[in-house]
Amino acid sequence: MSFVITTPLYYVNDKPHLGSIYTTLICDSIARFKRLSGDNVIFITGVDEHGLKIQRTASNKGVDPQSHCDEISDIFKQNWKSWDITNNKFVRTSSQNHESIVNEFYNRVKASGDIYMGVQKGWYCVGCEEFKENPENLSSYKCPIHQKNLEWKNEENLFFRLSKYQSQIEELINEPSFIYPKERRNEIINFVSKGLKDFSVSRTNVSWGISVPDTKDHTFYVWFDALLGYVSAICPNMSDPSLESSINNGWPADIHFIGKDILRFHAVYWPAMLLSAGMDVPKRVFGHGFLTREGQKMGKSLGNVLDPNLLLSKYGKEAVRWYLLKDISLGSDGDFQNKRFVDIINNDLANTIGNLLNRTSSMSRKWFDNKVPDTYELIIDNTLQLCCNEAVEKFINHFNLYELDLAANVILNLAINTNLYLNEKQPWKLIKDENNISIVCNIIYDVLESTRIIGLLLLPILPDLSSKINMQLGSLYNKNESWNDQLNWGLLKSKSNLPAPYPIIEKLEYE
């Protein structure tokens, strides 16, 4: 089965911050999970390079917009490499092939009779690249997200007949599977119920954009252009891009992962544009929460960003991935706090999972000649087997519902329960009596097997730690066999060698 997943296309007004890393890590983890589950994944990310915000950023730097975009887009690519992001596509909206897709799409929308010339007046936030409704309700005409002054605009623009799609959009957003999480659906239903207004899709005062065919001095509104990046990314043949080839190669997207601030664009404007062009709408849109720092949205424009590369070099990607994916429920906001970060990594990864592996493999190596013990069928205690089977089922269900935090907690709980089992059984006491050897073999085998399953379950979330765990058990994930099958109980080979141990995760220090 094919599965198309997208991150938003990030503005290149600055290098990535932890908020952008957050969305990308979520998508990466889901893409990894889907691949492990046997799907043919197209994982799209990229950059949104046009518009007033980027034009101004380049001009403030005193460079031409294209060079600015080249520089920042390279930084994004480099970042995704250092975070081991497994995207198959990286789209740039300043590329030639993207421009062809935008033009072809626009011609289809125009042919549907959905474009007309009008006058756009209103208060605009350059940070959001969006007109704000009811600005009189905003404190001193400031954008609540960017805390910057809104700007008055009054110009001739081309409009898209969004209002024509009122009933189709209502039907779509009422589909329970379309907007996730469900709390966000109500916001959109409420917005649409007020009546959809046509919106402007061109600008006359922005030179840094794709020129609208046959319309002098107009460039496309950056959102009209950027949303189409998802379609151009899928295009298999970059030298001959066309909507048809994107459609044949996997469009529509199975899921767009985006922050809650841009849900309207993805769940309302975008589907209407696609309907107008005779294309399928995305199957699902997930609006995740914001990452905050000390309670305030982290953002480039707000100047309170955490440098992800600093976190990466200081703590490593596994620690950051675990914190962001396990500690924050996808739909909700999550606050980044240094102390909590250090505590979680030390408790979950070092003390619980790392320690489980260390102590069990040390006991096994010491008592069974550096090997996994042999098992004895006479003794029947299937406690851990049942725990593992249940954990695997729950983990897969949570992942399929995009409940990544709950999935991660399933692994953690399995490790906690396995540690408890070991503490209860106290094999270090039993081993003192030779008559207990078969019982000890079974206990240690079961605990090692449970640890192997913990390692395998970690694969989509913490790929490096997962390999380290399974390497130490001498039982690496086999790429040529199904991951699901390898999650079955009892596959750790009795009497196989246990490699020499080394620390799989370092404890973190408070700053």
Residue 427 touches ligand MSP, criterion: CB under 6 A: no
Residue 264, both tokens? 């309207």
Nearer residue to ligand MSP within complex by CB, 128 or 422: 128
When binding is defined by CB under 6 A, the residue of 297, 326, 394, 425 that contacts ligand MSP is: 297
User: Measuring CA to CA, which residue among 241, 245, 268, 244 is closest to residue 256?
Assistant: 268
Q: Based on CB atoms, which residue is closest to ligand MSP, 125 or 411?
A: 125
Region binding ligand MSP by CB under 6 A among candidate stretches 25-33, 109-117, 290-298, 484-492: 290-298
**Residues near ligand MSP (CB under 6 A), total:** 21
Is 181 one of the binding residues for ligand MSP (CB under 6 A)? no
Contact 349, 326 (CB under 8 A): no
> How far is residue 74 from each of residues 145, 310, 379, measured CA to CA in Å?
27, 18, 59
Residue whose CB is less far from ligand MSP, 325 or 411: 325
Whether the bond into 252 is cis, omega within 30 of 0: yes
In which region does residue 122 sit, left (phi positive, over 0), alpha (psi from -120 to 50) or beta (all else)? left
> CB count, 10 Å around CB of 395?
26
> Least distance from C-beta 296 to ligand MSP, angstroms?
9
Laid out side by side, the sheet with 199-200 consists of: 130-132, 115-125, 151-160, 199-200
Q: Is 125 annotated in some ligand binding site?
A: yes
The answer to the question of residue 19 lying near ligand MSP (CB under 6 A) is: yes
- Which amino acid is present at 120? Q
Q: Is 298 in the site for ligand MSP (CB under 6 A)?
A: yes
| 262 in contact with ligand MSP (CB under 6 A) | yes
DSSP codes, 361-395? HHHHHHHTTTBPPP--TTS---HHHHHHHHHHHHH
Per CB under 6 A, the segment of 4-12, 56-64, 80-88, 478-486 that binds ligand MSP is 4-12
> What is the chain's Cα-based Rg?
26
Is residue 158 a contact partner of residue 116, using CB atoms and an 8 Å limit? yes
**9 interacts with ligand MSP by CB under 6 A:** yes
Task: Count the alpha carbons within 13 Å of 281 in the hemisphere toward its beta carbon.
Answer: 24
Q: Which residue, 229 or 455, has its beta carbon nearer to ligand MSP? A: 229
Contact between 209 and ligand MSP per CB under 6 A: no
Within 8 A by CB and 6+ apart from 318, the residues are: 349, 462, 464, 465, 505
Q: Give the x/- contact pattern for ligand MSP in 376-405, rule: CB under 6 A.
A: ------------------------------
226 binds ligand MSP (CB under 6 A): yes
387 among annotated binding-site residues: no
What is the C-alpha to C-alpha distance for residues 43 and 253, in angstroms, rounded to an integer?
10
Only one of the segments 289-297, 408-416, 473-481, 486-494 lies at the binding site for ligand MSP (rule: CB under 6 A); that segment is 289-297
Q: How far is the CB of 54 from ligand MSP (least distance, A)?
A: 9
Closest to 94 in 3D by CA, of 250, 300, 232, 274: 232
23 makes contact with ligand MSP (CB under 6 A): yes
Shortest approach of ligand MSP to residue 265 CB, angstroms? 7
Does position 10 bind ligand MSP by CB under 6 A? yes
Among the residue ranges 112-120, 135-143, 254-262, 439-447, the one whose residues contact ligand MSP (CB under 6 A)? 254-262
In this chain, which stretch among 35-43, 101-109, 275-283, 292-300 interacts with ligand MSP, using CB under 6 A?
Answer: 292-300
Q: Which residues lie near ligand MSP (CB under 6 A)?
A: 8-11, 19-20, 22-23, 48, 226-227, 229, 258-259, 261-262, 290-291, 297-299
